[in-house]
Amino acid sequence: IKIIVIGKWRLGVGKSCLLLQFTDKRFQPVHDLTIGVEFGARMITIDGKQIKLQIWDTAGQESFRSITRSYYRGAAGALLVYDITRRDTFNHLTTWLEDARQHSNSNMVIMLIGNKSDLESRREVKKEEGEAFAREHGLIFMETSAKTASNVEEAFINTAKEIYEKIQEGVFDINNEANGIKIGPQHAATNATLAGSQGGQQAGGGCC
Amino acid sequence: MDGHKEFYDQYAQSQEKSVVNKMQQKYWKTKQTLIKVTGKKEDEHVVASDADLDAKLELFHSIQRTCMELLKAIELYQKRICFLSQEENELGKFLRSQGSQDKTRAGKMMQATGKALCFSSQQRLALRTPLSRLYQEVETFRYRAISDTWLTVNRMEQYRTEYRGALLWMKDVSQELDPDLFKQMEKFRKVQAQVRHAKLNFDKLKTDVCQKVDLLGASRCNLLSHVLTTYQTTKLVCTCLCYI
């Protein structure tokens, strides 16, 4: 399953930190600027099935925007990340969402992530606002903290679950690789890739 | 993930010197130059990300232009002052000579006016000293400060072309990227290192240009306010004396 993480890096919403926390269970406060895209992968188990999430952590900086667009293709899920301590990252969500919807599969599962929930004292965007935005656009919403690891696992795994359910329902055609889902070598093991990027506003899709 | 990144970066760096890589690099740089020269539409997001830099460049060009205009204006002004002073002087002389032949009160007045005109023409010439000083200062400013900034701007533009070329390249290899295929990843890492390198260079020059232009603007203000004070004082003296 391929999942991509999108969002604006310049605002440093923490896409790369989320990915690092999920794949390596580490937190690194200072990150190099993401150039184009970085990758991460992790195996998870849903419903007794092994799923490999392939996560694409995209660059959020504006100059990489058109490059990032080519990564949407073939993503089954996206994490749209904003920073709860910075109102401007939240305000940009709509543009990123449009971008994602326009350049990807229409069935792509999109999850809205409000990152840096550990910085409660500097919060600028209320949880309710995030919830309202997610409701309005039909997204799943979660607040996470890449620093304390709270909800990071859940965010990725819930996205994967959502995708998995869609596969069960037959919404995703697993034989079509353009959906970002690939069946593993053994029938039992489903191979999923989840790509995520942290920073701006959106995150990935998954395929199994 | 970071370990991989470092490994790939090192690997890519060792590759950087290879001939094929050089060729590809040149190819994308040339492509970008071509896009720029032919005025084809560039990636709007890339252009937008340089908005602050472009604003500074605009400011730089305006400084360049207005300095040139100021020099021309000073030159013209100097010339006019000379003419005016000459004419004034001649009129003064004429009045004095006519006045000396006229024995009436009118003759006396003509003589007095003529004397005043001659004096004022002298005073007017005094304006030339602060003006030529201003001219010299602006000229030096143009030769030193502006041309130095101009060099930096040129270097920056070169790096910008390189960076944008690298971005084009990256966009190209991103089209069919699959992290599970080693061959593709190898290529992607190579381009990624290239972009990172070009970006580093470009960002550094970008900061340099922005700072230099700011400094240039500030130092011009400083220069003008300094030199113009002498001009103003002389002008005031001249005007006062003329009224007396």
What pLDDT score does B60 carry? 94
State the Cα angle at A71 between A130 and B42, rounded to 5°.
100
What mean pLDDT is predicted for residues B9-21?
Answer: 61
What pLDDT score does A197 carry? 35
* Confidence band for B79, pLDDT divided at 50, 70 and 90: very high
CA distance A33 to chain B (A): 9
- Round the average pLDDT of chain A to a whole number and report it: 72
Chain B residues with CB under 8 Å of A67 CB are 167, 170-171, 174
What pLDDT score does B152 carry? 93
What mean pLDDT is predicted for residues A39-48?
Answer: 78
What pLDDT score does B16 carry? 53
Residue A64 in contact with partner chain B when CB distance is under 8 A: yes
Is the pLDDT at A21 greater than 90? The verdict is no
CA distance A23 to chain B (A): 9
User: Which has more confidence, A70 or A189?
Assistant: A70
Supply the pTM of this predicted model: 0.74
* Confidence band for A11, pLDDT divided at 50, 70 and 90: very low
What pLDDT score does A198 carry? 34
What mean pLDDT is predicted for residues A191-208?
Answer: 35
Residue B204 in contact with partner chain A when CB distance is under 8 A: no
Q: Contact, B118 vs B222, CB < 8 A?
A: no
What pLDDT score does A208 carry? 28
> Contact A38/B5, CB-based, under 8 Å?
yes
Is the pLDDT at A186 greater than 50? The verdict is no
SS3 call for A160: helix
Q: What is the pLDDT of residues A96-132, one digit of tens each?
A: 888 778 877 777 788 888 888 888 888 888 889 889 9
- What type of residue sits at position A126? K
Of B1, B48, B195, the CB nearest to A36: B195
Tell me, rounded to whole angstroms, the distance of Cα B4 from its chain centroid: 45
What mean pLDDT is predicted for residues B133-160?
Answer: 92
> Contact B171/A70, CB-based, under 8 Å?
yes
Residue B45 in contact with partner chain A when CB distance is under 8 A: yes
Residue A175 in contact with partner chain B when CB distance is under 8 A: no
Q: What percent of chain A has pLDDT over 90?
A: 0
What pLDDT score does B222 carry? 93
> Contact B46/A63, CB-based, under 8 Å?
yes
User: Which has more confidence, A195 or A178?
Assistant: A178
What pLDDT score does B7 carry? 55
What pLDDT score does B55 carry? 93
DSSP designation for A62: G
Residue A67 in contact with partner chain B when CB distance is under 8 A: yes
* Confidence band for A4, pLDDT divided at 50, 70 and 90: low
ipTM exceeding cut-off 0.90 for this assembly: no
What pLDDT score does B92 carry? 92
CA distance A74 to chain B (A): 10
- Round the average pLDDT of chain B to a whole number and report it: 85
Q: Contact, A195 vs A1, CB < 8 A?
A: no
Residues contacting residue B146 through CB under 8 Å, at least 6 positions apart? B63, B64, B67, B216
Token pair, residue A128, equals: 């309710």
Is the pLDDT at B69 greater than 70? The verdict is yes
Of A19, A54, A66, the CB nearest to B179: A54
